Amino acid sequence: MNRVPALSLRVWERSRSIRGTAVNAPVKVIHANVSVDIPSGGNRMTTSRATNAGLASAGVLALASAAIAVALPADAATAGCSVDYAVSSQWQGGFGANVSITNLGDPLTSWTLTWSYGAGQTVTQSWNTTLTQSGAAVTARNVSYNGAVPTDGTVSFGFNGTWTGSNPAPTSFAVNGVACAGSTPTTVPTQPTTTPPTSTPPTSTPPTSTPPTTTPPATSADITVNTATKYQTIDGFGAAVSIWGSPWSTAETQTLVGLGANQLGLSIVRTGISPVSSEWSTQVSALKTAKSYGPGVKILATPWTAPAAWKTNNSRTNGGELKTDYYDDYAGQLNNYVQYMRGQGVPIDVTSVQNEPDWAPAYDSMTWTGAELRNFVRDQGAKVQNTKLMVAEAVNLNYSYTDPTLNDASARNNIGYIGGHLYGTEDAGRLKPYALADQYQKPVWMTEWNFHEAAGDTSTAWGDAGNQAVWDETLDDVMRTVDKSMESNWSAYIWWYGKRFYSFIGDGSAGTSTGAPLKRGYAFAQYAKYVRPGYQRIALTKDAKASPLEVTAYQGGGKITLVVLNRSASAVNGAVLQAPQNISKAEYYVTSRTASAASQPTSVNGGQVTVDVPARSISTVVLTL
């Protein structure tokens, strides 16, 4: 692939960070969830830029799994399945469970999972499935958005239930009438883990069977969480590997995606698709580490250009369109990349059709119109297998590049996600809910932004954890846009390079230490580390005392998580947060100019927790119910 000289890359990064004004341009043990594996130009800016479970008592928490493969008769499609069943949380009279199905046979267009309980357990509520029960027999069917499961793909769902006396796991399962025969589920006594799960689907309101109720408030609440009103499901928070440079080391990857001390918890990693297949191996090691070490990490793969010979300008750079008679070849190339990476042990969760189709810079690039993108995904999209397609990562989420696909049923059915970048998006009035994407239930991902104007590229201010200008930019620009993206019902926020002097870990330049977490990384981790994939944003209300705070709340894994920005110059001390039921544990972490993911004291009283929110800070409150 083209290698960008260090000086050119630096110039590109500087201009990319300038604000522009838009012109028309499976560890499968998770809390309260079931997981199933089944086969799966013009000027665009006025300034240039280039770039636990609840209420667990002394009772045990049961974990169970079954994995079996069977074959259909010779005259039927090849079939087989494995099922992981896990009781993720248990309290007196109630429990939450996760189920995972893996498709070991031919692709499925719909699925029905059946099992029976042996001790009188009853299902009370569920998510990501339509679940019914007749006596001991339980039937879980796909919902509208998760019926198609490719070979080796996974689908998951969760539910809450009640029990009396004992809660043994089911001993057999069947998918579409085919028995998943194999190992017998086992029961492992344990207590709920506080480590975020590998993946957690949206959770529902607290189980109705849970007996404890909220203690009457000792005082009026400043922030009240409303779990009855739900918004988008979170896919994750992430960053890109070096598109034109060296891959992350194993240690660097672990720092970026891990959930331990001084690790940042990224759950999405973006990588590039070179037009030269011999270069695809470059990022394999880092991506494989991210997948294996980071719980629930998703990989987004993005192409910058097709091979030069397939383009109208016969060049990898300066834009140029893909010739229509090469659409089939381009789809084949994307599919070949996905299958190559899959063979290397790196499943590609999401594959973009194009990086910035509305921008033609002097580096790898390719331009499209919205109609061309629609035609491509409509006619060729199904050829890219074992991944979900994204369209189309326009510079500032320009709807004209995505509306045509959304408005065409055939094209729309071939994509899983809408992507866009944040350069000029707010100025263009598009840092808000995308109504058409919401209408068709296509999650919106913000897939790139780079903003670093607090200091020069060689200034050691970037390596100074207490630098005021760098912190102000981190809080007022970067973290503010993460908050606004969540408020806009977007499902993911992906920063530019994860390893760079202005990013999450240092690269050894501008006063930074290679691989060491930076202040911006700790701030971003206030979202990434604690708001995990599958959590669902929920509503909240604030009183006057909390009005300076920008707060979003999420539910998942038996927890309620609040991320709080205080960009004001005054602390908000004694802020009372109200949960919908009693709180068994409260954790509170703060990042500011003088603190990095520092644990802070809390005061818990029934369903309330009281915290002090420092001035000019970002903090996260994690409530275990």
Q: What is the CATH number of the domain that holds 365?
A: 3.20.20.80
Based on the domain organization, do 500 and 411 belong to the same domain? Answer: yes
* 596 falls within a domain: yes
Pairing mode, strands 492-497 and 559-566: unpaired
Answer yes or no: do 600 and 541 share one domain.
Answer: yes
Q: Which two tokens stand for residue 141?
A: 């069917």
Pair type for strands 388-394 and 417-421: parallel
CB contact at 8 A, 10 and 4:
no
Domains held by the chain: number: 3
Q: Which residues contact 519 (CB under 8 A, 6 or more apart)?
A: 465, 467, 470, 471, 474, 591, 593, 596
CA-to-CA distance for 461 and 591, rounded, in angstroms? 18
- The three-point CA angle 296-555-212 to 5° equals 125
In this structure, the answer to whether residues 441 and 463 fall within a common structural domain is: yes
CA distance linking residue 337 with residue 340, whole number of Å: 5
Q: Taking a C-beta distance cutoff of 8 angstroms, is the pair 356, 390 a contact?
A: no
CA distance 579 to 227: 9
233: how many CB neighbours lie within 10 A of its CB? 20
Does 5 or 414 have the greater pLDDT score? 414
Going by C-alpha positions, the residue among 382, 434, 376 that lies closest to residue 403 is: 434
Give the Cα separation of 427 and 429 in Å (integer). 5
In a domain, 595, yes or no: yes
Residue 136 is encoded by which pair of tokens? 């001991």
Mean pLDDT of 237-250: 96
Q: What residues pair up with 419 in beta bridges, in sequence order?
A: 392, 445
Angstrom distance (rounded) from CA 293 to CA 210 = 34
End-of-domain residue from the set 496, 528, 560: 528
What's the CA dihedral at 265, 268, 269, 275 to 10 degrees? 180
Confirm whether 108 is domain-assigned.
yes
For 589-610, what is each residue's pLDDT tens digit? Answer: 999 999 999 999 999 999 999 9
Six token digits for residue 219:
């005082």
**The last residue of a domain, from among 484, 511, 528:** 528
Q: Is the peptide bond before 437 cis (omega within 30 degrees of 0)?
A: no
10 with 120, same domain?
no
| Residues 396, 355 share a domain | yes
What is the CATH number for 587? 2.60.40.1180
pLDDT tens per residue, range 534-572:
999 999 999 999 999 999 999 999 999 999 999 999 999
Share of the chain above pLDDT 90, in %: 70
Residues 522 and 452 in one domain: yes
Q: Is residue 90 part of a domain?
A: yes
Decide if 215 is inside a domain. no
Listed range (175-189, 251-265, 355-369) with the worst mean pLDDT: 175-189
Q: Do the strands 572-578 and 223-233 form a parallel or antiparallel pair, or are they unpaired? A: parallel
Query: What is residue 509's predicted lDDT score, i.e. its pLDDT?
Result: 97
User: Where residue 6 falls among pLDDT bands split at 50, 70, 90?
Assistant: very low
Which residues are CB-neighbours of 433 under 8 A, at least 6 positions away? Answer: 488, 489
Q: What's the pLDDT tens digit per position in 93-105?
A: 888 888 989 998 8
Please provide the average confidence, as pLDDT, over all residues in the chain.
Answer: 84
DSSP 513: P
CATH at residue 158: 2.60.40.290
Q: What is the pLDDT of residues 324-336, one digit of tens each?
A: 999 999 999 999 9
- Do 453 and 552 lie in one domain? The reply is no
pLDDT beyond 90 at 11? no
For residue 314, give every residue at least 6 positions away whose Cβ sits within 8 Å of its Cβ, in sequence order, or none. 308, 320
pLDDT at 250 over 60: yes
Distance CA 575, CA 568 (A): 15
Instruction: Give all strands (DSSP E) within 206-303, no chain letters.
Output: 223-233, 236-240, 268-273, 298-303
The answer on 595 and 500 residing in a single domain is no
Q: How far is CA 550 from the centre of its chain?
A: 21
Q: Establish if 455 belongs to a structural domain.
A: yes
- Nearest partner of 151 among 443, 408, 347, judged by Cα: 347
CA angle 374, 375, 378 (to 5 degrees): 80
Picking from 501, 528, 555, the residue at the C-terminal end of a domain is 528
Q: Is 187 within the bounds of a domain?
A: no
Question: What is the token pair recorded at 315?
Answer: 């060049």
pLDDT value at position 546?
Answer: 97
Structure tokens belonging to residue 117:
């309980």
> First and final CA of the chain: distance in angstroms?
50
* Structure-token pair, residue 287: 């991506």
Selection from 138, 189, 171 nearest residue 65 by Cα: 171
511 and 587 both lie in a single domain: no
Residue 209 lies in a domain: no
Same domain, 477 and 602: no
Encoded tokens for 265: 């918890």
The whole-number average pLDDT for the span 162-166 is 87
pLDDT confidence band for 91 (50 / 70 / 90): confident
551 is in which domain, residue-wise? 223-230+536-624
Strands 444-448 and 492-497: parallel
Q: Say if CB 109 and CB 169 are below 8 A apart.
A: no
Q: Give the span between the Cα atoms of 532 and 200, in whole angstroms.
A: 7
- 368-to-363, 423, 500, 505 alpha-carbon distances in Å: 16, 18, 30, 34
Asked if the model's pLDDT at residue 162 lies above 50, the reply is: yes
Same structural domain, 360 and 459: yes
**What gap in Å lies between CA 581 and CA 134, rounded to an integer?**
30
CA angle 315, 321, 325 (to 5 degrees): 100
Looking at the structure, tell me whether residues 466 and 501 fall in a common domain: yes
